[in-house]
Amino acid sequence: MTLINNDIRSAASFLKNGELVAIPTETVYGMGANAFNPDAVKSIFAVKNRPFYDPLIIHTDSMDKIDQWGMFIPEILKPLTQKFWPGPLTVLMEKSWMISDVVTAGLPRVAVRIPNHALTLEMLSLCDFPIAAPSANPFGYVSPTTADHVKKHFDGKISMILDGGPCQIGIESTIVGVENGEVVVYRLGGIAIEEIEMEVGEVVIQTSSSKPEAPGMLMKHYAPAKKVTAIESQEELNAIDKKGCAFILFDLNVDDVPEDDIIYLSKASSHDEAAQNFYNALRAWDDKDSIQSLIVQRMPDFGLGRAINDRLRRAVS
């Protein structure tokens, strides 16, 4: 049986015992395990059907703990952690001996994040170990932004879902690291590139990789079960054969389909609100039988629109 509630003491105690607990964060729900317990970490891979070559992000509530565990934030990234932690920023830092190769997939760096979610921060404060947590979805599928999304795939398979309500950011963290003295962004996410560059100047964006070492960067990922087509303009939308289609739109119009088959990501044209609703919208159409295929509008390519477009590209491919 999977408990679903907001009891942080139970959650911390399951984690301490090596069991799996899904945890809310401001980005997406994570599938959490005690990162100091390699068997617990392995069970994340098993339940998600995730290949072992895909490394995990570890989560904690304080910089002091990160320090104590022998991990150090690269100097040129400190303006970012100072500004954005707790928050949707993940930092690659040199791996400590305390972190097992199962967590990092044998890579020399470990990904670390202090999430910004009140309930989870409180829960993490009870843990004297980091929590390894990839997004709590079956590998390759759309990430979860509610406890219900997690329940759909993992009910009965994990000890607990810590229910912290819907995720406020709705898209995964931005991943940064350093190469040759330059700041590199490896995954577009909840903190826009413009905001990162305000702190550290121009960055290198390296978000696609054919190497299997970071499947979050692989072309096919974040994909719903149904066919997804991305469109950009009103002309493109008008020209599409709309039979069996549902729509996820930002600011385009479609009049010749039932209103029930259209989701607007943000009536106020806010990129932040669009990110918050994006995964929920993809999942909603996957769950509706009368729909065969999804037509999704590409966002204007700035702010969180850029991260949404990145996920959309991978969902389509």
Q: Which is nearer to ligand TXA, 77 or 295 (CB)?
A: 77
Does 192 bind ligand TXA (CB under 6 A)? Our answer is: no
Residue 258: CB atoms within 10 Å = 8
Q: How many CB atoms lie within 10 A of CB 118?
A: 11
Cis amide leading into 130 (omega within 30) = no
Residue 169 contacts residue 72 (beta carbons within 8 Å): no
- When CB distances are held under 5 to 8 angstroms depending on the partner's kind, the choice from Mg ion, ligand TXA, none that residue 90 binds is ligand TXA
Nearer to ligand TXA, 100 or 309 (CB): 100
Residue 260: DSSP 8-state: G
Site for ligand TXA in 30-89 (CB under 6 A): 30, 54-57, 88
Binding mask 99-138 for ligand TXA (x = CB under 6 A): -----x--x-xxx-x-x-----------------xxx---
Nearer to Mg ion, 44 or 127 (CB): 44
Chain centroid offset of residue 64 CA: 25
**Shortest distance, position 223 Cβ to ligand TXA, whole Å:** 13
Among positions 212-231, residues that touch ligand TXA (CB under 6 A) are: 214-217
Q: How far is the CB of 29 from Mg ion (least distance, A)?
A: 10
Q: Answer whether 32's CB lies under 8 Å from 15's CB.
A: yes
Omega of the bond leading into 86 within 30 degrees of 0 (cis): yes
Q: Which residues pair with 89 in a beta bridge?
A: 174
Indicate whether 172 belongs to the interface with ligand TXA (CB under 6 A).
yes
135 lies in the binding site for Mg ion (CB under 5 A): yes
Among ligand TXA, Mg ion, none, what binds residue 34 when CB lies within 5 to 8 Å by partner kind? none
What torsion, rounded to 10 degrees, do the Cα atoms 261, 267, 272, 275 define? 0
Strands 174-179 and 131-132: unpaired
Q: Which is nearer to Mg ion, 66 or 223 (CB)?
A: 223
**145 belongs to the binding site for Mg ion (CB under 5 A):** no
Residue listed under structure tokens 């719903």:
224
CB of 171 to ligand TXA, least distance (A): 8
